[in-house]
Chains A and B, each alone.
Chain A
C-alpha cells in the first residue's frame, strides 16, 4: 500500500498501480525517492520500471547489514531514467538466515557484477543469476567481509 505522502511522485504511483502488493513502504528524503518493495516481487517490479517507466539504467546494487536487527539485510537498487532525468531507490529487506532474492540480471545485464559483489561481501544469494561467484575476494575466501559481525582486523587462525 502506497503511503499518502508519496502520491505526488509519478514513479511511486505507477509501481503501486502495477502491483499494489509490491510497495510496502516508501519515503522522500533529501530529494530522493525510496520505495520499499516486497522481496518476492523485485524482478517483476524492475521489469515494469525498465520497460514501462523507462528506467533504462541500473546505477548500482548494494546492501546494508542491519545486524543484529531483523530483517537483517537491505538490498538497495539505484535506478536511473535518463529521459526524465530521474533517479529512484528500491529497497528489499531480507531475513538474516540464508538470505536470497531474485536476480535482476534478466532486466539489466549490468546488474551482474553488482549482484556478485553483494554475494561476495554480504553472502546474499541471487536466484537465477547466470554466474554467481565471488568477484572481489579470492575464490576460496571464508566469510563475507562487509557483514557487521565480520571483524575489521585480526589474524586468521
Chain B
C-alpha cells in the first residue's frame, strides 16, 4: 500500500467528493454471460448508493483493462465469473494477481461449478475448494419450500468471534444468512487469511438430489474429506502485507435479490428477515476499504527537552517516540474522514537485529493531534552502540496492518562529553592538592625558619 499511502492526500480529496472508501470509488464488475445482472439489482444499487461507480464487463471483454500505463484503472474489482473458462488477457488470473499487488481490492463470487483455471488462481491464496458440483447441504436448516441446498446460517453460530471490524456486531446477531447452492472451501496455513463465515454443525457436503433430479451414489463414495462446522469455510478474506483486501464468497446467490432484504420462512413456520444484505454490506465495506482502515499520520522521535528527531542518540539518552494513527470513517453525509483510533495494545521495539527495548505505546491525551490519536513511548537508550530502528508492527484481524520503521543510531559519549571530575576520585584529588599546598607552606616556613636559626647554625658550624 506504499503507493496509496503517498497518494493518500490526493485520494482523500477524491473521497470528499463522493465515495466513502478510503482508496477510491471505481469498481469494475466482471460478470460471466450466464449471470443475469438484473437478478442482483439490489446489490448494485446499494453499491451505487455508497458512492461507487460501477463498470460492468464480461470475462472476455478486451477493453476491461485493470492497469493502464502502470496505474490502476479501477480501485476495486468484483469478479463473478466462476464458470468462465477463458479470460481476456487483461482479466487473466495472472494480471488480476499483478493488479492486486498494486492495490486492487477484489471480491470474488464463486459457485460449485468452478473451472480449473479459477481453482488454480484461488490456490495462489492457499484456498482449496471441494470437488465440482458438490454443494453445502443441510437437512435441518433450510426454508421449508426450498431444497436442502438452500442453507440457513444463523450468524451467531456461523460467524467467528471477532472485534466486529469486518462483520459488525449487529450483523453477527441479526437474521439468518441464506447460503444457496454454494461451494465450500478450506483455508490453508496462509496467515493472512481470515475465516468470515463457516458452516453449521448440521450441514454437510453432497450433491443436491432434489435440484439435479438424479441418483448420486458417486458423491457418497467420493474421497473428498468430509468438512463441516468450522472447517467448512464459506466466506473468507485475505489482507495482504500491503493492506490489499481480497474476499472470497462461496456463492453468488448470496447477493441475489431473492434474499436481499426479504423475509424467509424457517422450519418453525416463522418468517424472519434475512441477514444477507447486512452481511454482504459489512463484508464489501471492509473489502473496499471503507471500514477497518487505519493509517499512520505521523511518526517521530526526539530526545528529552528537544522536539526534532536526531540521527544520533547518545547512550542513556531519554528518547521519546511518538506515533499518530487515524482510523477511516464515513461521515453522516457520506464523505470520507479520518478520526481517532484508540487501542491499548500497541508496542514499540527499538531494534538492532533483536529488540533491545520493547515497550508499550500508550495513548497521550495531553497532546491533541489534529487528526487521529497520538501514542507515545519513553525509554532510555540502551548502552549499546550501533544503528537501531524504531519498529512498530500492529497486525490485528480486521484492521489495516500498521508497520513503521525509522532508523537512528546510538553512539557513545564524545570525548568532550565525559564528566570532567569523577565523584569517586575526590579523595585522590584532595590528597594530591593538599600535598602540593603543604609543600608550598613547607617551603615558606623553611625559608623563614632558616633566618631565625642562622645564629645557632652558625655556632654549630663554628664548633
B is a partner of A: no
Name A residues whose Cβ lies closer than 8 Å to a Cβ of B: none
Query: Could you list which residues of chain B lie within 8 angstroms of chain A, going by C-beta atoms?
Result: none
